[in-house]
Amino acid sequence: MATCRSRHKAPSSLGLTGITDAAEDRGRAASGVIVLSHLSFGVADLAKATAFYDGALAALGYARVWSNEDGAGYGVAGGNDRLALFVQADRPSPPGPGFHLAFEAPSQAAVDAFHAAAMRLGGRDEGAPGVRPHYSPTYYAAFVTDLDGHKLEAVHQ
């Protein structure tokens, strides 16, 4: 895991950039399009948040790719972050109803492991693992809320 002091500064609001690297280039879909570079979430307690995300995202094959005293970033090992966490002086304010962050899972078992890890690490259940036929017959997902109220999904299709 790298220590980052220059690329990320604690943002006053969520933002997107166009930064990519060679590891991300190798992971692009056949279309070659990456729509989002990353998202940033505010957290109240970085140690508790990183413990939660280290466990929940490891179940999906993602890792902490950088950290410092102000934040941490998660993505594919060897690549840039796709999710950045930054400590906020005021209580974090997650986006409202209708927003959630969905992580791609390599299998249904990974979705199950994500949900189990999130529950074990203090997350709140927002939808147990299972097929969501109203999305599609192959849409297998689980929904949780993290320690700061951000709604997350793991999905395998």
pLDDT in tens, 75-124: 999 999 999 999 998 888 888 888 899 999 999 999 999 999 999 999 99
Q: What is the pLDDT of residue 97?
A: 85
The share of the chain scoring above pLDDT 70, in percent, equals 78
Tell me the pTM: 0.79
Between CA 85 and CA 148 the distance in angstroms is 11
Nearest to 122 by CA among 56, 44, 40, 46: 56
So what's the architecture of 22-90+98-156 in CATH?
Answer: Roll (3.10)
Per-domain residue ranges of the chain: 22-90+98-156
If you average pLDDT over every residue of the chain, what do you get? 83
Q: What is the pLDDT of residue 31?
A: 60
Which residue type sits at 103?
F
Coil, helix or strand at residue 68: coil
User: Which structure tokens are listed for 121?
Assistant: 């690490």
